[in-house]
Structure 1
């Protein structure tokens, strides 16, 4: 049994320990001061103005100029159909029933985001992703592709050479690949053809939406705004939305919103939360997480399955009979002796991490340990599994 705690009185009786304790306390003071200063954040990092938002755009197009790594037409008939339609629009008639064996063309989906206040002529980066069985889009060129919004209207046109961050090679049945080859970007590949009207102020009233729903943060933001601009400039409607009284003239309104965005607000301690990704085995927790005193028992169980094949042949070539292959599977199970270990009450994240690391637990073990601690009421945090 291992106990993760020490006696302060025992440390004080030893001069060397006293000097070490003083160094630890000074280090803790130096650690607390930056953390306290980091709690003041700008409003632009905490919230956004209602109406100032991006819009998703999507389009379907073709990538040409591939080095034999495009779609296989027999397995992706929509690529051939798209190519036929494009050629017909360019005045090229393809006879009916023609089976085009084109390996340098790939059907792709093109996506981008239309930012707020975007004007016609502005350039946007686009993301190109293969939707067929193309092996690689490296070296390809995206043909003119209309990008539409949720209402079906065209807001931008995309075209240009692809930039693929991956690389690969194959020879004699062996292959090697680095990163993804079936996707890439076209820098400044889309040109905005139509803007979206952005309205963020109505009758001099502007709404500020917090990124998270927190009444304490909303109250601190309202207090900071009223101290800076006076009167009843800001009013909290709920834990997320804050209403502001802004100047009515455009120039004064722009200056006011700029000052609002850069105003620092002191934040209250964040809500304790532990996020577990069950697929990757990662565990992330913020610094307000605490663990009450608890006892944990865990042990590792490993199972090894080894399939083997035994071949039985005739004793002589002329003895008749046939060769018989039988499967023989061996199963081995090993279980380490589990031990009951005590975890003391933790004061901060450093103590939590130190206690869990002292258990020798892997990230996969932590998934079960934290879930069980939450069920037992020893974990003072919200547990979120994604």
Structure 2
């Protein structure tokens, strides 16, 4: 082999390596983003507590008696006795509800964030401190204890009848404000199997997910099978090796199936959203606006000087009717989403007009999509 031929071969190898290394456009997604492991979930926690140290922005005790009852009960537990007929006038205390999410595999001693929300008529929780509050689960057991200074992302001021407020002052957050006291047993699969649950039911995506697992992790034997359009059963190793096995599954790439053609219409705001699968059949549509303007003008008739006439007020009404030109637009079968939007905009359709237009298109059988009105 000559030096020239050897150089040509090296050049070919470099070109091939460059082509292989260039990333190609792919619409595949990780299984981690499409499905979750059955049994690995968060749990909601809830508690009732008191926020103190407010700057005269707490609950009005005459309207929220439960705040006073909570303070009296707390002071009694601390050995403070109050006269029987005394009426507390508190301005720096607010009754709140404390919520948090207990993540899976959480262990005692770890901290989680909590959200503190006013349940009375407190004006602001800014600058307050949450007193020790037990957080319970759905079974009534205490799983965390919360306490700390609130972080409120708003500000407000008021004087007389003038009031200025930025953002919401009745909700605050305490980063790492709760310490876990009890863990929730989380089982990573049952027996020899783990189960993947798709976030959206789709038979095609479930089939492709099964094929990806079998081809990448066990080409010789099938370890994954779809039980239905949402649940996939996977045979997994037992013990500590199961964690690494789940990690491999989560990072596999799957090309998900395109969802059903859907059009979402918000009747209150006029918002219309369509996915890329929406298509149309052959149809024609006409759109025009009719505007009626009624103008009322009051004029004064003044008599001539030195006459016996009287000043008279007269009302002059004007009615003007304007009708925009109705244009007929023809749309062909199978047009894409972009062409649908372009055609509707060409006839001057506003979001409110689209509500009626889409309903008429669906009734006529021209809209090949599910029409959901929320």
Same fold (TM over 0.5): yes
- Asked whether the 8 Å contact 1:200–1:207 carries over to 2, the reply is no
Please report how far the alpha carbon of residue 295 of structure 1 lies from its aligned counterpart in structure 2 after TM superposition.
2.9
The SS at the match of 2:71 is helix
Aligned 8 A contact 1:295 1:340 in 2: no
- Please give the alpha-carbon distance, in whole angstroms, between the structure 1 residues aligned to 2:115 and 2:318: 49
Distance, in Å, in 2 between the alignment partners of 1:331 and 1:245 is 80
Relative to structure 2, which stretch is displaced further, 345-354 or 124-133? 345-354
* 1:299/1:335 contact within 8 Å kept: no
Q: What is the CA deviation profile of residues 144-166 of structure 1, one whole-angstrom value per residue up to 9, with x for unaligned ones?
A: 11111101111011111111111
Aligned to 1:107: 95
Which residue is 1:14 aligned to? none
Provide the residue aligned with 2:36 in structure 1: 48
Which residue of 2 is the match for residue 221 of structure 1? 209
Alignment check: 8 A CA contact 1:297 1:338 kept: no
How many matched pairs? 331
Query: Hey, what does 1:157 align to over in structure 2?
Result: 145
Paired position in structure 1 for 2:342:
354
Long gaps (5+) in structure 2: 1-22, 298-314
How well do the aligned residues superpose, as a CA RMSD in angstroms? 2.5
| Preserved CA contact (<8 Å) 1:301 1:333 | no
Aligned twin of 2:56? 68
Deviations 1:182-239 (CA, angstroms, capped at 9, x unpaired): 1111111011100000012222200000001110000000111111122111000000
- Selected match of 2:188 from 200, 207, 210: 200
Distance 2:72 2:58 in 1: 16
For the residue of structure 2 that corresponds to 1:202, the secondary structure is coil
Partner of 1:296: 285
The answer for the alignment partner of 1:281 in structure 2 is: 270
Any idea what the Cα deviations from partners look like across 1:246-293, whole Å, max 9, x if unmatched?
A: 11132x211110010000001222211112222332222211112333
Q: 1:235 aligns with which of 216, 222, 225?
A: 225
How has the CA–CA distance of structure 1 residues 300 and 243 changed in structure 2, closer, same or farther, with 3 Å as cutoff?
same
- Which range is displaced more, 183-192 or 335-344? 335-344
Mapped to 2, the partners of 1:307 and 1:160 lie a distance apart of 63
What's 2:331 paired with? 344
Taking structure 1 as the reference length, what is the TM-score of the superposition?
A: 0.80
In 2, Cα distance between the equivalents of 1:364 and 1:159? 48
Cα gap change, 1:164 to 1:302, in 2 (>3 Å):
farther
TM score, norm. by length of structure 2: 0.82
The answer to whether the Cα contact below 8 Å between 2:287 and 2:349 also exists between their aligned partners in 1 is no
Larger radius of gyration: 2
Matched with 1:261 is 250
Show the counterpart of 1:97. Answer: 85
